[in-house]
Amino acid sequence: MWEMFKDLMFEANLRENMEATHRRGPEGRFPTLKKLQAYLQNKILVSSITMDGDSGTTDATQLGIAGEFMTGGTYVLQTQDDDGDESFNDHDDGNGGKDHFREQDIYLPIANVARIMKNAIPQTGKIAKDAKECVQECVSEFISFITSEASERCHQEKRKTINGEDILFAMSTLGFDMYVEPLKLYLQKFREAMKGEKGITSVTGAEGLGEELTEDSFTGQLPAGLITADGQQQNVMVYTTSYQQIPGVQQIQFT
């Protein structure tokens, strides 16, 4: 029975992949050769299973899958004979079904992604449309990848909140250690900018702020220097909330 359950999960996963393919339009994508072969060889007979768990078919109950596995999402699994299009229409996005499958339907806006890509490649280069869509998905995958690694470490250390250190550590663990240095600099710069703005105006109107940004998140730190890429010191005027000026330079070492 476990074998059948595993097949079922695999089937659903494959379905999701093919779903994404279908949603992209007629061009679509073929799943990997191995997956497709395995899928056809399995020939699992299933039907759609609703959120309530009362699929109404004997297959699900025979498989003995508890209702809670399938709640929060609708999976449409298909026999070989079914018309592909029908089941695609039935498929619900399953926003609640995060228990065993990552939510891969949430993407960053394609315009933003495309813009960043364009800035990265040489001026004369062009980008195919399916490449843009594809990078969109890759981005979501990347975020989930980093987050799950950071979250795991957090759990190991019995903490509940993922902080910046976790993210940086996750990145160097996963082979993105070339990002770590620029990111530290970026964070430093951003904090500077935030502090400066906070001192001058009481409204934090910086671009891209989330709603939950409170003043509390920036208390207790007052870096008065800036480390530049080439190690030269710069004079920085730091405005505190009491409007005292602190000229001069202090070097801050990242541990």
Partner 1 sequence: MSEKNMEEKVEQAASSKTISLPISRVRLIMKSSPDVSCINQDALFLTTKATELFVQHLALASYKNGSGRETNTLSYSDLANTAEETETFQFLTDILPRKILAGDYLKSLEEMGKDDDNL
Ranges within 199-228 binding partner 1 (CB under 8 A):
207-213, 217, 228
Among 45, 110, 131, 222, binds partner 1 (CB under 8 A): 131
User: Per CB under 8 A, does 190 bind partner 1?
Assistant: yes
Q: For residues 71 and 147, which CB has a smaller minimum distance to partner 1 in the complex? A: 147
Cα dihedral 48, 137, 115, 197 in deg (nearest 10): 100
Considering only 51-59, 106-114, 232-240, 245-253, which stretch makes contact with partner 1 by CB under 8 A?
Answer: 106-114
Dihedrals φ, ψ of 241, to 5°? -70, -20
User: Per CB under 8 A, does 145 bind partner 1?
Assistant: yes
Task: In angstroms, give the least distance from the CB of 69 to partner 1.
Answer: 14
Among 6, 25, 93, 174, binds partner 1 (CB under 8 A): 174
Task: In angstroms, give the least distance from the CB of 83 to partner 1.
Answer: 18
Residue 5: CB atoms within 10 Å: 13
Considering only 44-52, 66-74, 185-193, 232-240, which stretch makes contact with partner 1 by CB under 8 A?
Answer: 185-193
Angle between helices 129-156 and 164-173 (to 10 degrees): 110
Identity of the amino acid at 77: L
Question: Segment 47-66, which members bind partner 1 (CB under 8 A)?
Answer: none
Tokens (6 digits) for 119:
């800035």
Instruction: Please state whether 172 falls in left (phi above 0), alpha (psi between -120 and 50) or beta.
Output: alpha
Identity of the amino acid at 82: D
